[in-house]
A = this chain, B = another copy of it.
Amino acid sequence: MKKSQSFFTQDKPASFRYYKPDRKVLGKKMADHLRFAVCYWHSFVWPGLDPFGGDTFQRPWHAAGGDGMKQAEHKADIAFELFRLTQAPYFTFHDRDIAPEGATLRESNRNVRKIGEVFEKKMRKSGMKLLWGTANLFSHRRYMSGAATNPDPEVFAYAAAQVKNVLEMTHELKGENYVLWGGREGYETLLNTDVGRELDQLGKFLNLVVEHKHKIGFKGLILIEPKPAEPTKHQYDYDVATVYGFLRRYGLEKEVKVNIEQNHALLAGHTFEHEIALAYALGIFGSIDMNRGDEQSGWDTDQFPNNLPQMALAMYHIIKGGGFTSGGLNFDAKVRRQSIDPDDLVIAHAEAMDLCARALLIAEKMIDDGKLGQAVDARYAGWKGKMGRDILAGKMSLAKLAAHVEKTDLEPQPRSGGQERLEGLVNRYI
């Protein structure tokens, strides 16, 4: 394990100013609120490529001509070393992140399971846990026109076989959730696309996954990760509201929840807290990909979170909604292409974890103080009156309501929304 130890300069776990795993916050340990996960994809797979430039990181396990499985083991060594240095209790992965593709799917699956065995040992030894696994159904050219939504049913079959393998492996590794991100489930041009048919294919696919989950006794959540676009021009899992409609259409709203990413929310025209609050309201909140998009960039930058007030509001909505059950806070974030020092990986995660902890402490203050919640309750207080209750209870028709307005010559008086007052209040907690 020498290789991994010399990869990072530092040997001692990161130290934190705010993050104390055992510190009690609102009756629960900080670690149990935050459930941090490091993701394989961004930290160990992405080599610093972008659409106009090549590998800047030159990780040893990416060296051309190497033995794929040896490189995969090397990568795993470094990954667990990073987990140790950051002290995040969870990790997440795609099948293709952890092991090389073989000549056939059988061989690819074998490779994946072999690394799964490596993981099992390392997890037992280190105490690391798996937040979720997922199958990469988007990088290989076979998926260029979709996985479940491919015009070729053989690709559907191939994707199904791949998901089966990762779902079962996730179950065996005691993974707490299983995620599907439909990066190619969408279209590049409507000219060659039958939207209705593709949605049906996707609905069918998801139903098969749910069926299999129950068959093998997997208790974790099945999660869809919404994203509006990129790589595809339009993706069917556009945002939380779209996914909700899709789940209802295919009878899945009790089986499947969402994994919400900040950057994806932004690309869909929403704030992170909007997507979180909406998912709770619709009963489909599952987990989050904590990262950050650049407001000036029109693509998924997947940066480490760094805006404290925004993070505090996201955390507030999560706590208010009841917190995570099996979900967690996955750093679906990559160090910038110019951050080529291995230590940048440690720094980025440690700074992000500390800032999330700080955001949690702010959310705690918001909850404890109660003024924010009270302001909202007070604003809707009228709905607790007789007419409000009658309306919601279905006792009033349009005709009855109109009669009431006419009889009383009702003229409702608007009240200040107090937005600046509330924004000032929030800043007092920062």
Contact = CB atoms under 8 A, between A and B. Distances in A.
A397 B211 contact: yes
A334 B300 CA distance: 21
A142 B397 contact: no
Contacts of A160: 396, 398, 401-402, 405
Contacts of A269: 228-229, 268-269, 296
A154 B387 contact: yes
A118 interface: no
A191 B379 CA distance: 11
Given A297-B229, A392-B204, A414-B141, A420 B335 contact: yes
B394 A204 contact: yes
A157 B404 contact: yes
Contacts of A157: 387, 391, 396, 401, 404-405, 410
A244 interface: yes
A417 to B, nearest CB: 3
Contacts of A11: none
Interface stretch (A79-87, A126-134, A145-153, A171-179): A145-153
Nearest to A358: B427
A2 B65 CA distance: 31
A77 interface: no
Contacts of A398: 160-161, 163-164, 167, 208-209, 211-212
Interface in A372-430: 372, 375-376, 379-380, 382-383, 385, 387-388, 391-392, 394, 396-399, 401-402, 404-406, 409-424, 426-427, 430
Interface stretch (A28-36, A47-55, A67-75, A322-330): A47-55
A423 B338 contact: no
A319 interface: no
A242 interface: yes
B347 A420 contact: yes
A340 B416 contact: yes
A413 B340 CA distance: 11
Contacts of A6: none
Contacts of A234: 270, 274, 296
A119 B257 CA distance: 51
A278 interface: yes
Interface string A106-132: 100000000000000000000000000
Interface in A268-293: 268-271, 273-274, 277-278, 280-282
Interface string A189-207: 1111111110111001000
Counting chain A residues whose Cβ lies within 8 A of the other chain, the interface size class is: 35 or more
A138 B52 contact: yes
A339 interface: yes
A13 interface: no
B204 A391 contact: yes
A61 interface: no
Nearest to A268: B269
A336 B104 contact: no
A228 B161 CA distance: 38
A183 interface: yes
Given A336-B419, A420-B347, A424-B347, A397 B195 contact: no
A351 interface: yes
Contacts of A21: none
Contact of A248 (B139, B249, B426): B249
Greatest chain B CB density within 10 A among A104, A160, A230, A296 is at: A296
Interface in A286-331: 294-300, 304, 306-310, 313, 317
Contact of A416 (B190, B197, B338, B426): B338
A180 interface: no
A382 B153 contact: yes
B204 A48 contact: no
10 contacts: A142-B412, A144-B337, A150-B412, A156-B401, A191-B422, A267-B298, A306-B423, A306-B426, A338-B414, A347-B421
